[in-house]
Amino acid sequence: MKHLLALNKRTRIGAAVALLACGAVLAMLAYTAGHAADDRVAKPAAAAPAKAALTVTTTQPQRSSLATALQANGNIAPWQEAIVGAESNGMRLAEVRVNVGDVVKRGQVLATFVADMAQADLAQSRAAVAEAEATLADAGANAQRARELQASGALSAQQINQLLTAERTAQARLDALRAGAKVQQLRLAQTQVLAPDSGVISARNATVGAVVPAGMELFRLIRQGRLEWRAEVVAGELAQIKPGQAVRVTAAGGAPVAGKVRMVAPTVDAATRNGIVYVDLAQPGAIKAGMFARGDFETGSTSALTLPQSAVLLRDGFSYVYRVGAENKVAQTKVEVGRRVGDRIEITGGLDASTKVVASGAGFLADGDTVRVVEAPVKTAVTR
């Protein structure tokens, strides 16, 4: 009995010790978890780095020499326009060989008239010339005999004078008939209408079958196909323009065309106070006579800060660039722009030469975006 009591006592003591040990372990775990939670509250996790929105290259404004220009408006016109008309009266058109827009060469046949009557008149004139030549030969022989017999007295002075006069009369008649034959030959030649110069047909009034009077306009011809721009320039600015000056002329919807000042009109319109400047267009391209065009006279050059046009973004009517700042964050910056030359644009305000900006792709960025910057090959600014 005593043995059983002792065993139960030891069992109860062991259980109590086990319970105490479990409690201590649980208390320690609770303490450790509490401190870990406090550490998490006291020391929050570091924020993840911002992800780059775009990979870009940067550029800086470069100083370039840009041409200064004087702007003007005006019309495109032919350099010279020749009027081709009928030279003979009352002839009927048989054939018209060209139309508006055709390119022709000097001496090319543009139209022909019916030549039957002219050919008949020429043949008649030639026959009359042949008859007059025979008459002159006979009169000449008689006059020569009279000269030989003049000393012998076989012929009277009156007879000799008659023979000599007959010779001169026959000669005069032959000359007159030869002149008439030449007129008929010219009239026959005029049955062909020839181009007076190389160029482009700009107008046509000739119609097959029409009987036209002398001097009637049949065609208009832009001589040598040359066009010119007649710029209207304010009187106060005419002094800046000199013959030989380079000009860039742009018509509606067309590419710029190079031109050169030929002359400045010596007078100014009293109503508009504008003077006309004549600009030759060596290669007019798609420009046509009668078009309205604007142009820039190159009057010199100035130094200016420029950026690639791809770096400048147009939004809501204003120009912007994206400056690249600390931690590669971009900031939208409003700038003022001026002239455009090639792929460069002048920056007149809002930016200094040391600022780095996004070179291209600005349209895909927003203010405050983070970008990844890569090096780009250095390019020299275009100068003019």
Same domain? 173 vs 140? yes
Look up residue 329 and give its DSSP letter. B
Indicate which CATH number applies to the domain containing 340: 2.40.420.20
Q: Which range among 124-128, 294-298, 320-324 has the greatest average pLDDT?
A: 124-128
Same domain? 123 vs 135? yes
Asked whether the beta carbons of 284 and 227 are under 8 A apart, the reply is yes
How many Cβ atoms sit within 10 Å of the Cβ of residue 11? 10
- Helix or strand run (H / E) with residue 337: strand 330-341
353: pLDDT confidence band, cut at 50, 70 and 90? confident
* pLDDT, position 10: 52
Same domain? 166 vs 244? no
Lowest mean pLDDT among 78-82, 131-135, 174-178, 352-356: 352-356
6: pLDDT confidence band, cut at 50, 70 and 90? very low
Contacts of 194 (CB under 8 A, 6+ apart): 107, 108, 109, 110
Asked whether the beta carbons of 87 and 110 are under 8 A apart, the reply is no
In the structure encoding, which two tokens stand for residue 54, read together? 């775009």
- Helix or strand run (H / E) with residue 175: helix 157-189
Same domain? 193 vs 246? no
21: pLDDT confidence band, cut at 50, 70 and 90? low
Residue with token string 């005029």? 190
Report in angstroms the alpha-carbon separations of 308 from 56, 119, 335: 14, 73, 14
In the structure encoding, which two tokens stand for residue 290, read together? 């009668």
382: pLDDT confidence band, cut at 50, 70 and 90? very low
Query: What is the C-alpha end-to-end distance of the chain, expressed in Å?
Result: 122
Same domain? 133 vs 248? no
Is residue 68's pLDDT more than 80? no
| Total structural domains within the chain | 4
Indicate which CATH number applies to the domain containing 266: 2.40.30.170
Rounded CA-CA distance 37/60 in Å is 51
Residue 214 lies in a domain: no
Same domain? 189 vs 75? no
Report in angstroms the alpha-carbon separations of 137 from 19, 32, 125, 182: 170, 153, 18, 21
What's the gap between Cα 187 and its chain centre? 45
Lowest mean pLDDT among 5-14, 115-124, 264-273, 277-286: 5-14
* pLDDT, position 178: 95
362: pLDDT confidence band, cut at 50, 70 and 90? confident
Q: Domain span at residue 150?
A: 81-204
Is residue 249's pLDDT more than 90? yes
Same domain? 308 vs 284? no
Same domain? 130 vs 30? no
Q: Residue 59 forms beta bridges with which residues?
A: 357
Give residue-wise pLDDT tens across range 268-321: 999 999 999 999 998 888 889 999 999 999 887 788 888 888 889 888 889 999
Is residue 5's pLDDT more than 50? no
Is residue 16's pLDDT more than 70? no
Look at residues 299, 329, 344 and tell me which one is the last residue of a structural domain: 299
Of residues 49 and 338, the one with the higher pLDDT is 338
Residue 211 lies in a domain: no
Of residues 46 and 152, the one with the higher pLDDT is 152
What's the sign of the alpha-carbon dihedral 331, 332, 336, 340? positive
Rounded CA-CA distance 380/30 in Å is 70
Same domain? 112 vs 199? yes
* pLDDT, position 2: 43
Residue 218 lies in a domain: no
Residue 104 lies in a domain: yes
